Amino acid sequence: MLAIRMDTMLAEIGPSTRPDRIFNIAEGIFVRADPGSVAVIEGEAHTSYRELNERSASIAGQLREAMGGDLSAQRIGLQCRDGAAYIALALGILRAGACFVPIAPELAPSERELLASTIGLDFLLSAKSEAAGKIGFDLAALRRGSRPEWEGSLAALHPAFIRFSSGTTGRSKGVVLSHDTLRERVEAANGGLEIGPGDRVLWVLAMSHHFAVSIILYLWHGATVVLPKSHLAGDILEAAVSHRATVLYAAPFHYELLAGHAGQTRWPALRLAVSTTMALALETGAAFDRAFGVYPSQALGIIEVGLPCLNVPDARSKPASIGPVQPAFAFELRNPQGQAAEPGEQGELFLKGPGMFDAYIEPWQERAAATGEGWFSTGDIARADGDGCLYLVGRSKSVISVGGMKFFPEEVEAVLCQHPLIAEARVFSRPHPTFGMVPAAELVAVEGGSVPTAREITAFCRKQIARHKIPVEISFVAGLARTPSGKIKRIYPG
């Protein structure tokens, strides 16, 4: 592995320009933005669009120099704490023409290795230092064997971003978004958000999980991203009030924290609160509304699609709805036979619109082959009222979301079944008052073997998977319920 240490001196290197005319969304941000306006607020530090432009251009230039110029379809993983430096580094990767791959810091080493091998990660960029005027980082070249068969097809897409939909195994496939697709996506998503230069968006989600249709969207539309000192309710509210945040985009976990900590705090500048990743409890939404005068709008965000649904017009009158589809999207509800559901009947939700993903990595499958005539199957069961507002009534996918961080039960089951005393495992979610849901597990012990303790199982898992994926409830059963075809019967969230 080749390691290169770089300290980016921002004042010495100006903005870069790609030699070709292929659209680059990161460079497009700075063509559109007012250079003097504030892009990011972190603590007391205010970074203007001019400064962010210089920082990201400097990083891009050094990446090109270190890697020989043409970085088309080179996949660069970013491992960095959330902050203004993360944003600059991510934009630098994009401006260099490489494909940005966020690496969640909570992943266990084995999970990072699996992600790297699955997508053929070329380089890993790790932030090492931050000081006035410079960002220090290490760049590690990852030595791999044969190149992936799909590499030429990936390069043809002009890829900008790859992220696994909710995990690294199970049904997750790795989603590819091109520069053009990202532009379509952030413009379509803003149909209901209406983010503009006057907005200050309070950021509380993990950047490695949420970036493309959020941070990119805010910067594309000239807004300011406000980063609180921590994700404690007091620090979030302090940043919201002192920097006059106008928009909050958060998980139910954060709304629960803020509603319970409101006290006498006022938030006069708040105009829009959006809840995503999972259903928001009605009592939580009502409590937040009482405290701050804005009812959170439920939304449906899907990495393959973007932000197709947003309940802005009826957040208070229809709090359980994810709203109508945004103006650029269309939806269909289909019965199990694949036909349109009758009015008033529920069905599987299919979506069509701009900004749809370009391809899946593993196995390689481009958009046209993965969607039927442009329609994407969400796996969610929904119904629509007479106004076209959608309500999720069930899920055909088993994804688990803990405080906004999603994963599939299959990847945890695979780890559990590596334990020499566990024969079978089923992982599912349990409701949790703070995190929304937490993972639980039913296990079948190996016949004739001893039964491991919950502490032993937790210690075994901790070495292989991120902490939020480790089951907090563990029980041993004689056998697992199965479907008529012999598959483990799933317990779905919600």
pLDDT of residue 16: 39
The whole-number pLDDT of residue 445 equals 92
pLDDT of residue 118: 85
Alpha-carbon span 407 to 409, nearest angstrom: 7
Q: What is the pLDDT of residue 133?
A: 57
* CATH code given to domain 2-147: 3.40.50.980
Q: Give the pLDDT confidence of 408-454 residue by residue, as tens digits.
A: 787 898 899 999 999 889 999 888 877 878 999 999 999 888 999 99
Distance CA 238, CA 315 (A): 25
Check if the beta carbon of residue 441 is closer than 8 Å to that of residue 419.
Answer: no
400-476 shares the fold of 2-147: no
Q: Which CATH number is associated with domain 186-395?
A: 3.40.50.12780
Spatial separation of the C-alpha atoms in residues 438 and 493, rounded to whole Å: 10
Domain boundaries, given as residue ranges, for the chain: 2-147, 186-395, 400-476
What's the pTM? Answer: 0.80
Res 2: pLDDT: 35
- CATH value of 400-476 in 3.40.50.10190, 1.10.1040.10, 3.30.300.30, 3.40.50.800: 3.30.300.30
Cα distance between residue 243 and residue 193, in whole Å? 20
Nearest to 454 by CA among 469, 434, 466, 470: 470
pLDDT of residue 398: 66
Express each pLDDT in 157-194 by its tens digit.
999 999 876 433 334 578 999 999 999 999 999 999 99
pLDDT of residue 170: 39
Quick one: which H or E segment has residue 235? helix 233-242
The confidence score (pLDDT) of residue 439 equals 93
Joined together, the tokens standing for residue 472 give 């907090």
Q: What is the pLDDT of residues 249-266, one digit of tens each?
A: 998 889 988 988 877 678
Q: Which residues of the chain have pLDDT under 50?
A: 1-20, 166-171, 484-485, 494
C-alpha angle 76-80-86 in degrees, rounded to nearest 5 = 85
Please state whether beta strands 347-352 and 376-384 pair in parallel, antiparallel, or not at all (unpaired): antiparallel
